[in-house]
Structure 1
């Protein structure tokens, strides 16, 4: 009898261990030109045991007046970056590959590699992955994919790429980038206009793409939106995108009238948060509330057979973080386990 009791205890303990799934790792994108974390940002990273940051190193753009693509606003790092595993992220504007000649791809590869190395050397960093962020199209995919292949020839690290929902749905036309893995950018899926839709996340629009995620052939992490922005509307047309704006400041500003819970109107010409508003301009605030973040993870689970890897939140900035309770990251992570 004692033998069977011991066996029963063992089986129950084994079942309990099997039910306890390890926490899914979470990370953040860092999208500023100078690296430096304030106390609130450090607290969030510490509380959720975040050890990896996806850091925008620089952009690449082929400006109309230029003869070659050029780096834009390389990041300045400080020594605190050494506390984290860093994944350099290079944002490449699509027009770079529209204008780039195939004969110049090698030059771009070498220049990008050299600048990444210089930034790493500034703080003696060793990075094991690099990520390329480009919203490529059918007309630019050949140049972009060839760039990746040639970068892969000289790299000694993993290469990942950002993947938009339309690139998932139309993969036969847009192609699969030759990378180790992708990051599904689960936001910016609607039109930026004055309608009542939310251009950052709209469930009805997401549902047009979700069924295609399951069959995408790359391993995928997923990026979720923490950011908000505002659309400045003049005569019904968007004239400015207001980034990094805390919209609660409009609630108590006598220069503005509250039209709805996410719309404001300028009573007269004025400056606010570094932007100029004419009389009658409207501001439409767009944000992804906590309940929508949880809804997103339910959809991802449903349409991916739980094959999504890391969660990466965009982006690490206290202006974004304070809009949520600190336990939102645990809730989102638990809903995917």
Structure 2
């Protein structure tokens, strides 16, 4: 009996170490379509020893008049991040967000053309903005559904040989939990997006960016996903504005107007002073605001849930969404560092 008692902890130790993350590559998403990196943003990359930047090169939308077309093209350039003539310290991963309507409306012939056009634009931007930096990976971001799965997967299969690059795809929590229904994308690896769990306008009592109970309900599958999985976490907050009880817009730069708000219930505030935000946004006394804040404590709790439930490979990339000085001022350098390092503790 003593031998059995001794052996059980040994088995537990082997099992617990089997899926321990040993190395974390640190990454940020860069999702801005205009503007250039600030000195503070550059310093954050240096301070955190960031290795990868997932840059949204453009988005793809659809209209009956134009078919599939690119929008929201980035101003990102390598010269903005490193001294001219010096080798980039970062691996840049072109990322393309494709709206689900594209796959609702496209034939296989359209998707063949889309794969060619996406690859062409990525190469064009790489030559123009990245000084022909060698790119080894492309990430495709899409909220695909069961009805668009076949078209989306067809596109991914076409893009791989055309680009001759590693293809990764974002993975929302619903297709993560239900791979039998939603399919497993034909890519080299996926990035689990641990945020935007709820329709922002669907539930007024929950934080739609990150609700911990909602997150846990999707994670506890008991199965290892069949592809290599990286993970993305939110480092942003926003305010949803309601005027005359109707949703009107979203504010991302929230720090300057907190002083004009009075909390009326969890997540909800009321404007106490008429405030001009910009040329198109004006807050009036009595307007209601749902403030969805992502604190360091909430991110840490999310990481604990993710580690408890997901079986990772030994080496993973952890991405933070996204590189924005106004959002990142809500976290200390030490807190940001722990968002990465906690995965291999």
2:65 equivalent in structure 1: 66
1:205 matches 2:210: no
1:266 equivalent in structure 2: 271
2 CA distance for matches of 1:268 and 1:289? 26
1:225 matches 2:230: no
With structure 2 as the length reference, what TM-score do the two structures score?
Answer: 0.84
Unpaired runs of 5+ in structure 2?
1-20, 82-87
1:56 matches 2:56: yes
1:84 equivalent in structure 2: 90
Residues 261 and 221 (structure 1), Cα distance of their counterparts in 2 relative to 1, 3 Å cut: same
Decide whether the 8 Å contact of 1:169 with 1:213 is kept in 2: no
Q: Is 153-162 or 257-266 further displaced after alignment? A: 257-266
Structure of higher RCO (CA pairs closer than 8 Å, 6+ residues apart): 2
2 CA distance for matches of 1:71 and 1:213? 39
1:87-125 CA-partner distances (Å, limit 9, x unpaired): 000000001111111221111111111111110010222
1:21-69 CA-partner distances (Å, limit 9, x unpaired): 9652210000012463212111111111112100000000002x42410
SS at the partner of 2:24?
coil
SS at the partner of 2:220?
helix
SS at the partner of 1:69?
strand
1:29 matches 2:29: yes
1:47 equivalent in structure 2: 47
SS at the partner of 2:198?
coil
Residues 22 and 330 (structure 1), Cα distance of their counterparts in 2 relative to 1, 3 Å cut: farther
Decide whether the 8 Å contact of 2:36 with 2:75 is kept in 1: no
Of residues 315, 323, 333 in structure 1, which corresponds to 2:330? 323
Aligned length: 312
When the two chains are superposed, the root-mean-square deviation of aligned CA atoms in Å is: 2.2
Unpaired runs of 5+ in structure 1?
1-20
Deviation of residue 292 (structure 1)?
Answer: 1.2
1:188-231 CA-partner distances (Å, limit 9, x unpaired): 11231362311111111112111127432111100000011111
Deviation of residue 237 (structure 1)?
Answer: 4.1
2 CA distance for matches of 1:215 and 1:306? 8
Q: Is 264-273 or 100-109 further displaced after alignment? A: 264-273
Deviation of residue 297 (structure 1)?
Answer: 1.2
With structure 1 as the length reference, what TM-score do the two structures score?
Answer: 0.86
2 CA distance for matches of 1:296 and 1:312? 14
